Amino acid sequence: MENLRLLIVDDIEDNRLVLNAICRKMEGFDLKEAVDGVDAITVCETWHPHIILMDVMMPNLDGFEASKVIKARFPETVIIIVTAVIDPHMEANMASIGVAAYVHKPIDKELIRYKLQSFGAFLRSKDGIHAKLSTKEALNPFCPDVRHFKTIFDISDAEGMMDFGVWVLSRCEERRSGTSSKVDPMIELFYELMRQGIREEKQVSIIIEESFEEIFVTMKLANPIVLKPKAQELADDLQSNCIIRQNLACVRLHNKGAASTVKPLSRAKVIEKISEPKKEAALPEPQTIAEPIIAVAPVVEPVIEKEVRTIDENEQGLLRQSFVEKTSAVDYVREIGGDVLDEIRDLEGLDEEWIEKLNILESEPSHENIRQFADGVLGVYVRAMNNLFEFTALAYALSSLGTFMKEHADEIIADSSKLKMLVMLTEHLGSDLTSWREHIFSLQDAADIHYLDSSFFSSCMQIEQIVGNKEIETDDDNDMEFF
């Protein structure tokens, strides 16, 4: 394979310079940059990057929405999120769309290079170097009933750790085991422990055991494990899927769809944790680069005035509508009654029409085709949702989007790039609505019926911002929070 194409996406120039300086020293990568989510999608359409380092909080289109579009159009692209925000809710949503890994700011240069090299090697080859040794004794503390072989890695440097990372990524893909929200923290935890172990004893061992439903990955060190803050944080993220005992650290990766037989815990189960010595020889830590407080002066460009739309008090009340108590889909469907439920289920007939009318609009942009989609598709959703008090805010967001499309029809028709972006983003909004409808009203497996609210609001508003070149202004920005 030729050089891998690596795209760096961040709206702050200093951050792009830092990431570029880190990445350009690695062999085997060609680099490009994008300044926001819209720019990233445009680059992906023409350049097709293999790996993307994606910031989250950006103007025009944020990293979450951009990642959704990119993963849907280019599912093989590896997206690594670079963020200063450690938000479990956000990370769960990112994992659900296929984000592969996270790098938290301030950036650890060694770690980001390790992750890029690991994913790069994974993309170049699906075969890792490993050995299988027959045994009948399970090493992992989770399950004694495993098949009678082990896969063992003896690691003495970062390159050996990279071989392990490539192997486990390939194995999990092959077996469709685990999720990015577990695999990536596990690899990062073991990387942290590996650095500690190599300093102390020059070699660590990783032993992989497998049942038919799960993979168990155990790191074995000669000395007791001392959990430093970063390693402790990663272990906590893995919760009941991580056990640390004396000189062993073990992580369990579930097969997708397999039920867990262990009751989840609120944090990682650490057995006989060893306290860190009072005084330990200080070791140089990797230099970190903090996110800049003041951005460098931008290049002077022609100023494009943006329309500022002020959200009035009634609109803000709708969009700030919140539901403190979680309501499961089963309980909700039981309460709403048959007539309303039938009307919502009838929306299934709109799925194909949604795509069909967008395709017609893209190929034949006209006022009539815009109106057909706004009134004949979005309007039907709005009327159905207005019968559900819990989703009046979502109905308002869709209604506002339809009104916006009709009011800005001339701009959309005249600008092919805006038309293409509108169609692309609205197509993904329709896909999200289909998923929302299925998981709440058909499968009824959603633990909370409002699990996609913020994503819908964000999508509708960002479509207006991008296509209409407008800013959304409220009386109090802190009251509204989107990805």
Kindly list the domain boundaries of the chain, sorted by start residue. Answer: 1-108, 125-274, 307-479
Helices 180-201/158-175 angle, 10° precision: 150
Give the model's pLDDT for residue 50: 93
How many Cα atoms sit within 13 Å of 288 on the Cβ side? 11
pTM for the structure as a whole:
0.53
- Residue 21: which H helix or E strand, with range? helix 13-23
Name, in order, each residue with C-beta under 8 angstroms of 12's C-beta and a sequence gap of 6 or more: 55, 291, 292, 295
**Whether 106 contacts 291, CB under 8 Å:** yes
Distances (CA, A) of 184 to 7, 115, 168, 234: 20, 9, 10, 10
Q: How far apart are CA 433 and CA 355, in angstroms?
A: 13
Q: What are phi and psi of 292, to 5 degrees?
A: -65, 145
CB–CB of 153/184 below 8 Å?
no
Among candidate residues 44, 41, 89, the one with its CA nearest the CA of residue 62: 41
pLDDT of residue 166: 81
* Below-70 pLDDT ranges, the chain: 1, 86-88, 125-137, 145, 147-149, 174-181, 199-202, 212, 255-325, 337-338, 469-483
Torsion of CA 161, 167, 172, 175, to 10 degrees: -160
Amino acid identity, residue 175?
A: R
DSSP-derived letter for residue 135 is: -
Right CATH number for 125-274 from 3.30.565, 1.10.3470, 2.60.120, 1.10.533? Answer: 3.30.565
C-alpha 402/C-alpha 202 separation (Å) is 63
Q: Is 264 exposed, middle or buried (0-12, 13-18, 19+ CB in 10 A)?
A: exposed
64 DSSP β-pair partners: none
Predicted local distance difference test score (pLDDT) of residue 83:
85
With a CB cutoff of 8 Å and minimum separation 6, the contacts of 224 are: 246, 247, 274
Could you tell me how many helices (H) and strands (E) the chain has, helices first?
18, 16
In this structure, the number of other CB atoms found within 10 A of the CB of residue 376 comes to 14
DSSP 177: B
Distance between CA atoms of residues 231 and 212, nearest Å: 29
pLDDT of residue 131: 41
Residue 476 CB-density burial (10 A; 0-12 exposed, 13-18 middle, 19+ buried): exposed
Chain centroid to Cα 199, Å, comes to 33
Residue 476: CB partners within 8 Å, gap ≥ 6? none
Burial class (CB in 10 A: 0-12, 13-18, 19+), 336: middle
Whole-number pLDDT of residue 178: 46
Q: How far apart are CA 252 and CA 210, in angstroms?
A: 10
Cβ pair 432, 459 in contact under 8 A:
yes
- 3-state helix, strand, coil split of the chain in percent (to 5) is 50, 15, 35
pLDDT of residue 147: 62
Alpha carbons 406 and 375: distance in angstroms, whole number = 9
Q: Identify the pLDDT of residue 470.
A: 56
Coil/strand/helix, residue 277:
coil
Which pLDDT belongs to residue 181?
Answer: 59
Tokens for 205, please give them. Answer: 């061992």
Q: Does domain 1-108 have CATH number 3.40.50.2300?
A: yes
